[in-house]
Amino acid sequence: MSSSSESGGSIVAILWALGANAGIAVAKLAAAVYTGSGAMLAEAIHSLADCANQLLLLVGLRQAREAPSDTHPLGTGRVVYFYAMMVALMLFLLGGAFSVYEGVGRMRHAEAVHDPLVALVVLGISLVLESLSLRGAMKEIRKTQAGRTFWQWFRETRQSELLVVAGEDLAALAGLALAFVAVLASYATGNPLYDALGSIGVGLLLMAVAFLVMREVKSMIVGESAEPALRRDIQAHLVARPEVVAVLNLITLQWGDAIVVAVQAEMAFQPDAAALVDAINVVEDSIQTRWPAIRWVFFEPDFPRAAKGAT
């Protein structure tokens, strides 16, 4: 898949999430103020944080399109990882930690939920809207899933912004279900403790998801190769080229939506240096034609180390 199509798919998923979360946040906040539900307030804060998160992801995608410069010779594609990490931290702190804090406060000063049916209706509507947002994200994920399970895709994908949106949506759905059960239990028993426990449960859930997202984004920031399947395909493509005798080393580096490839290879005999350069150019062009997302190819012709100096 090309870098432009990956970026376009991510933007679609982000806009789906932003639209859903904006409507959900307004409804939750109004219901939280009206009912006095701690679980509902935690959910409202979570949805507001999600809206800010999606705006940050859009800013990151826009900045990633800046042209290469002397300061950033390979462009600014990796800036999306910075914004993805900020989003994960906001999800952890504003979504998770605040919900736990609110829940603990409610446990100490328990107050009955006023008109919990309103909260339950809002939570039910929010579940539907969040499901639509997740459906939009999953539609984009399936384009690059290539038969992998969702967990395999989550661990191997290099699309940080789509990973964040999917993680947020899943956490939101699970959190909404948990909040719904908590408010319903509080309503059925008349015990506000369940509402407080629901807020704590939502917070712990969000913190767990945020941790998983941060772990994946940290790996991208440190520097990850292209997805394993793509790296294998590039290796096979090089080996099959008549100009290449053997691939001595292959390094791939994900750079936002783009990919950097460095190849060290033993080349087929060429009559002179100009012919060798032409052969290398043919191989490089074949790689970039097949995978447009590979924006840079650095090629080094060499011999196997053991063969150096042999007669």
Each residue's pLDDT tens digit, 153-205: 999 888 888 888 888 888 888 888 888 888 888 888 888 888 888 888 888 98
Each residue's pLDDT tens digit, 25-42: 888 788 888 877 766 777
Instruction: Provide the pLDDT for residue 1.
Output: 46
Average pLDDT of every residue of the chain: 85
Averaged pLDDT in 10-residue chunks for the chain of 311 residues: 56 82 83 75 76 88 89 91 89 80 80 74 84 85 87 90 86 84 85 84 87 92 92 96 95 93 96 95 96 95 70 42
Q: Could you name the CATH architecture of 228-307?
A: 2-Layer Sandwich (3.30)
Global pTM? 0.77
CATH number of 3-222: 1.20.1510.10
Torsions phi, psi for 148 (to 5 deg): -80, 155
Give me the residue spans of the domains in the chain.
3-222, 228-307
